[in-house]
Chain A
Amino acid sequence: MAQMTMIQAITDAMRTELKNDENVLIFGEDVGQNGGVFRATEGLQDEYGEDRVFDTPLAESGIGGLSIGLALQGFRPVPEIQFIGFIYEAMDAVNGQMSRLRYRSGGTQQMPITIRTPFGGGVHTPELHADSLEGLMTAQPGIRVVIPSTPYDAKGLLIQSIRNNDPVLFMEHMKLYRSFKGEVPEEDYTVELDKADVKREGNDVTLIAYGAMVHSALKAAEELEENGISAEVIDLRTISPVDYDIIVESVKKTNRAVMIQEAQKVAGIASSVVAEIQEKAILHLEAPVLRVTAPDTVYPFSQAEEVWLPNHNDIVEKVNNVINF
Chain B
Amino acid sequence: MNEEGEIVNENAMPDLSDEDLKEIMRRMVYTRILDQRSIALNRQGRLGFYAPTAGQEASQLGSHYALAQEDFILPAYRDVPQLIWHGLPLYQAFLFSKGHYKGNQMPEGVNALSPQIIIGAQITQAAGVGLGLKKRGKEAIAITYTGDGGASQGDFYEGLNFAGAYAAQTVFVVQNNQFAISVPVDKQSAAETIAQKAVAAGIEGIQVDGMDVLAVYAATQEARNRAINGEGPTLIETMTYRYGPHTMAGDDPTRYRTDEMDDEWEKKDPIVRFRKYLENKDLWSEDEENEVVEKAKEEIKAAIKEADNTPKQKVTDLISIMHEELPSNLKEQMEEYEEKESK
Contacts and interface: CB of A to CB of B under 8 A. Distances in A.
Interface of A: 51, 56-57, 59, 61-62, 64-75, 92-93, 96-97, 102-110, 141-142, 144, 164-166, 194, 240-245
Interface string B293-335: 0000000000000000000000000101111110111100000
Contacts of A241: 327-330
16 contacts: A59-B161, A65-B155, A66-B124, A66-B162, A69-B128, A70-B128, A71-B128, A92-B121, A96-B118, A102-B322, A105-B106, A105-B113, A142-B322, A164-B324, A166-B324, A243-B328
Nearest to A104: B104
Nearest to A55: B165
A105 B318 CA distance: 11
A138 to B, nearest CB: 10
Contact of A73 (B121, B132, B324): B132
B158 interface: yes
B328 to A, nearest CB: 5
A66 B327 contact: no
Nearest to B135: A51
Given A65-B125, A69-B142, A244 B328 contact: yes
A142 B323 CA distance: 7
A72 B322 contact: no
A100 B165 CA distance: 28
Given A57-B162, A141-B322, A72 B121 contact: no
Interface residues of B, number: 43
Nearest to A165: B324
Contacts of B327: 144, 194, 240-241
B162 A97 contact: no
A96 B323 CA distance: 16
Which of B136, B159, B162: most chain A Cβ within 10 A? B162
A200 to B, nearest CB: 23
A144 B322 CA distance: 11
A254 B329 CA distance: 24
A66 B165 CA distance: 12
Contact of B128 (A72, A105, A144): A72
A65 B106 contact: no
B161 A57 contact: yes
A72 B133 CA distance: 10
Contacts of B321: 102-103, 106-107
A31 B233 CA distance: 25
Mostly helix, strand, loop or mixed at chain B's interface?
Answer: helix
A105 B106 CA distance: 7
A269 to B, nearest CB: 12
Interface of B: 72, 101-106, 113-114, 118, 121, 123-133, 135-136, 142, 154-155, 158-159, 161-162, 165, 318, 320-325, 327-330
Contacts of A65: 121, 123-125, 127-128, 155, 158-159, 162
Contacts of A73: 72, 128-129, 132-133, 135-136
The list of the 10 closest CB pairs from A to B, nearest first, reads: A69-B128, A65-B124, A73-B132, A62-B158, A241-B327, A106-B105, A69-B129, A107-B321, A66-B128, A106-B101
Given A105-B113, A107-B320, A110-B324, A96 B121 contact: yes
Given A102-B323, A165-B324, A61 B128 contact: no
B163 to A, nearest CB: 9
Contacts of A165: 324
Which of B124, B127, B135, B322: most chain A Cβ within 10 A? B124
Contacts of B121: 65, 92-93, 96-97
A122 to B, nearest CB: 30
Contacts of B328: 194, 241-245
Contacts of B330: 241
A75 B135 contact: yes
A74 B124 CA distance: 17
Contact of A69 (B127, B155, B325): B127
A183 B159 CA distance: 43
Contacts of B124: 61-62, 64-66, 68-69, 93
Contacts of B126: 69
A61 B101 contact: no
Given A69-B130, A72-B132, A106 B155 contact: no
Nearest to B134: A73
Contacts of A56: 162, 165
Given A51-B135, A92-B121, A61 B154 contact: yes
Contact of A57 (B104, B123, B133, B165): B165
A240 B329 CA distance: 9
Contacts of B132: 69-70, 72-75
A158 to B, nearest CB: 18
Contacts of A245: 328
Which of A59, A66, A69: most chain B Cβ within 10 A? A69
A72 B318 contact: no
A134 B11 CA distance: 58
Nearest to A100: B322
Nearest to B92: A106
Given A61-B155, A72-B132, A92-B118, 20 more contacts: A59-B162, A62-B162, A65-B124, A65-B125, A65-B155, A68-B124, A68-B125, A69-B128, A69-B130, A72-B128, A73-B129, A73-B135, A93-B121, A96-B121, A97-B118, A102-B324, A103-B318, A106-B103, A110-B324, A166-B323
A210 B104 CA distance: 38
Given A75-B132, A106-B104, A69 B125 contact: yes
A166 B324 CA distance: 7
Given A61-B124, A93-B121, A66 B131 contact: yes
B104 A72 contact: no
A158 B133 CA distance: 27
Contacts of A69: 124-132, 142
A103 B101 CA distance: 8
Contacts of A244: 328
A71 B114 CA distance: 16
